[in-house]
Amino acid sequence: MSQVQRMSRLMAKTLRDDPADAETLSHKLLVRAGYVRRTSAGLWSWLPLGKKVLDNIAGVVREEMDAIGAQEVLLPALLPKEPYEASGRWDEYGDLLFRLKDRKGGDYLLGPTHEEIFTLVVKDQCTSYKDLPVMLYQIQTKYRDEARPRSGVLRGREFQMKDSYSFDTTDEGLAESYALHRGAYQKIFARLGLDYRIVSAVSGAMGGSASEEFLAPAAAGEDTFVDCPNGDYSANTEAVTFSTGPVDGSAHGPLEELDTPDTPTIETLAAFLGVPASATLKNLLVKVDGEITAVGVPGDREVDLGKLGEHLAPAVVELVTAEDFEGRPDLVRGYVGPQGLKIRYIADPRVAPGTAWVTGANKADTHARDVVCGRDFEVDDYLDVVVVEEGDPCPVCGAGLKLGRAIEIGHIFQLGRKYADTFQLDVLGQQGKPVRVTMGSYGIGVSRAVAALAEQTADEQGLCWPREIAPADVHVVAAGKALQTELALDVAEKLGAAGLRVLVDERPGVSPGVKFTDAELIGVPWILVAGRRAGDGVVELKDRRTGEREELTVAEAIERLTAVTA
């Protein structure tokens, strides 16, 4: 079957200018090159070129999932409320869920992820340890009601995702399934041509224990990660850990209260006392499921509310308001200190036992110094909650960490028995007794991978796809009139007959300059031009990525392209 697509028949209108609302490189180029078009906020239509790239990525994912023994299924996207209510995620997801009612008043949602439904499928199908282990996956459209969809297909309200799930009877079996997926992901992203990092991560609303993200470094990324220059450590900033042992606080004098008028902020306090901000203790008040809680960090650091929320999930964390201080004389705004507080006190590990601080005295216009942790106040819970900064010590080797931006392209979790407990997923064990199943959950953003590849591989001229993902192997351009067009079509048919996927630009009335610009913009790996030497049977072959060109006879060009695309 011919694999030749004529540009004159292709629904792909290219644009010379960037879309007015586009902020990221991938957003600009995917629209300009005719791969996608915006339908409404966060909703995108995949045009023929874009659909080919999307399907090519899905094909790679499917091959590698099949290779580890996973079985493909397809579950509904429209899901009943009850399973998500049972797991707690009907409430935990909050406004991110698309919720709807049927004509009878029944509650439904559009699936953001499918742990609950897969668990119920396995509960129905697997009753004995002999039925396990099993790994199931689907490539399906997911839905999340993003408050501010942006960056094109990077953050939409509808997106394509591969989600897979493993079911084992033992923790050792789960570890093996997790390792199989991890290895498959490495092969997938290598085949896609993505530069990526595997980083430690937090599980969040997914639940579970072990969790790793696959991140593609890119300026447009919404994730921040850290890298150790020695290669000892990589992590999402929300998962970075810091630890320190107790210090000897015996040399510090007794707590001393100081008159510090009009110093409700760290900046004004440090300036008034002539001390560095790092010597002060910042105490941020938040509400955790409505209960006021204090969070202590060194004064020169900021509290990462996202990180705090991940640590305390599924509890809801929000900042206190002025109204929360009403009727609370023990909480003096701008002068809160941990000593004598009657509320829960969380602290970053940097507030270690034996460390001494300048902090609020719980009196207006008053602070205290030599407030020693473990002597003058106790910490209820230690959590890594500061915003990570460039140069923070690597938890493995101590070297200064480097910060980078990246796009999350995959995430793998060892869920354990969270969902199995919720739905009582048991099988009959070898000893004739029920055994609770343990699970893993593994996701790849298929549509996100399109954008990530565009971000990483594009150049000043346009998109520049790796061969396995590109919508065609070669883009043939007729740079002239009848003779060039005739040769271009002949070469295209021969390349198609040789098994190559060919895009041929034979559009009448379109100048060679526009055709060349479109070929660069569309980004197929090889560009073959039937131009000034067409009468001699000579064409020009260009490597889209390197820009290298050479003149070849038609036979030589076909032989070369057949060899490099084999």
DSSP-derived secondary structure for 327-372: T-TT--TT---STT--SEEEE-TTS-TT-EEEEEEEETTEEEEEEE
160 bridge partner residues: 141
Residue linked to tokens 């008053």: 366
Q: What is the mean pLDDT of residues 311-335?
A: 91
Tokens of 74: 């397809």
Cα pseudo-dihedral 78, 80, 85, 86, rounded to 10:
-110
The confidence band for 208, taking pLDDT boundaries of 50, 70 and 90, is: low
- Nearest-angstrom CA–CA distance, 235 and 396: 12
Tokens of 326: 């009403």
- For residue 346, CA distances in Å to 190, 207, 292, 350, 377 come to 42, 22, 11, 12, 11
pLDDT of residue 565: 83
Q: Per-residue pLDDT tens for 412-423?
A: 999 999 999 999
pLDDT value at 151 more than 70: yes
Q: Per-residue pLDDT tens for 86-95?
A: 999 999 899 9
Q: What is the mean pLDDT of residues 520-547?
A: 96
Q: How many CA atoms lie within 13 A of 87 on its CB side?
A: 25
Q: What is the mean pLDDT of residues 312-324?
A: 90
Give first-to-last CA distance, the chain, whole Å.
17
The dihedral through the CA atoms of 247, 249, 255, 258 has a sign that is negative
SS3 letters across 204-231:
HHHCCCCEEEEEEECCCCCEEEEECCCC
Mean pLDDT, all residues of the chain:
94
pLDDT of residue 235: 86
pLDDT value at 520 more than 80: yes
C-beta separation of 212 from 201 below 8 A: yes
Tokens of 38: 């915006």
Q: What is the mean pLDDT of residues 212-229?
A: 92
The confidence band for 201, taking pLDDT boundaries of 50, 70 and 90, is: confident
Of the candidate ranges 19-23, 43-47, 468-472, 522-526, the one whose mean pLDDT is the lowest: 19-23
The confidence band for 472, taking pLDDT boundaries of 50, 70 and 90, is: very high
Determine phi and psi for 145, rounding to 5 degrees: -85, 75
48-67 vs 446-457: helix crossing angle, rounded to 10: 110
DSSP sequence for 506-553: --TT--HHHHHHHHHHHT-SEEEEE-TTGGGTEEEEEETTT--EEEEE
Q: Per-residue pLDDT tens for 93-109?
A: 999 999 999 999 999 99
482-497 vs 554-564: helix crossing angle, rounded to 10: 40
The confidence band for 32, taking pLDDT boundaries of 50, 70 and 90, is: very high
pLDDT of residue 60: 98
- Nearest-angstrom CA–CA distance, 139 and 161: 6
User: Strand, coil or helix: what is 373?
Assistant: strand
* Planar angle of CA 199, 202, 203, nearest 5 degrees: 125
pLDDT value at 243 more than 80: no
pLDDT value at 23 more than 50: yes
pLDDT of residue 80: 97
pLDDT of residue 1: 47
- Nearest-angstrom CA–CA distance, 272 and 75: 63
E strands along 417-453, which residues? 426-428, 434-436, 438-445
Q: Per-residue pLDDT tens for 415-451?
A: 999 999 999 999 999 999 999 999 999 999 999 999 9
The dihedral through the CA atoms of 204, 208, 211, 215 has a sign that is negative
DSSP state of 117: H
- Nearest-angstrom CA–CA distance, 530 and 22: 35
The confidence band for 111, taking pLDDT boundaries of 50, 70 and 90, is: very high
C-beta separation of 299 from 280 below 8 A: yes
101 bridge partner residues: 107
pLDDT value at 126 more than 50: yes
C-beta separation of 476 from 505 below 8 A: yes
Tokens of 499: 């098994």
The dihedral through the CA atoms of 471, 473, 479, 481 has a sign that is negative
More confident residue, 498 or 206: 498
C-beta separation of 478 from 515 below 8 A: yes
User: Strand, coil or helix: what is 483?
Assistant: helix
- Report the length, in residues, of the chain: 566
Q: What is the mean pLDDT of residues 548-557?
A: 96
pLDDT of residue 319: 94
Determine phi and psi for 156, rounding to 5 degrees: -110, 175
Buried b (16+ CB within 10 A) or exposed e, 286-296: bbbeeebbbbb
pLDDT of residue 370: 96
Q: Per-residue pLDDT tens for 347-382?
A: 999 999 999 999 999 999 999 999 999 999 999 999
- Nearest-angstrom CA–CA distance, 112 and 370: 50
The DSSP element (H or E) to which 163 belongs, if any, is strand 158-168
pLDDT value at 199 more than 50: yes
Residue linked to tokens 């060039």: 484
DSSP state of 303: B
- Nearest-angstrom CA–CA distance, 272 and 291: 33
Centre a 10 Å sphere on the Cβ of residue 121 and count the other Cβ atoms it contains.
16
pLDDT of residue 310: 83
Closest alpha carbon to 525 in 484, 479, 566, 469: 469
pLDDT of residue 416: 94
Of the candidate ranges 103-112, 144-153, 206-215, 528-537, the one whose mean pLDDT is the lowest: 206-215
Centre a 10 Å sphere on the Cβ of residue 323 and count the other Cβ atoms it contains.
7
Q: Per-residue pLDDT tens for 262-314?
A: 999 999 999 999 999 999 999 999 999 999 999 999 999 999 998 898 889 88
pLDDT value at 130 more than 70: yes
- Residues with Cβ < 8 Å from 312, sequence gap 6 or more? 288
- For residue 182, CA distances in Å to 65, 243, 248 come to 11, 28, 44
Phi-psi category of residue 339: left, alpha or beta, with phi > 0 → left and psi -120 to 50 → alpha? beta
- Nearest-angstrom CA–CA distance, 95 and 237: 25
Predicted TM-score of the model (pTM): 0.88
Cis peptide before 434 (omega within 30 of 0): no
Tokens of 241: 């850990």
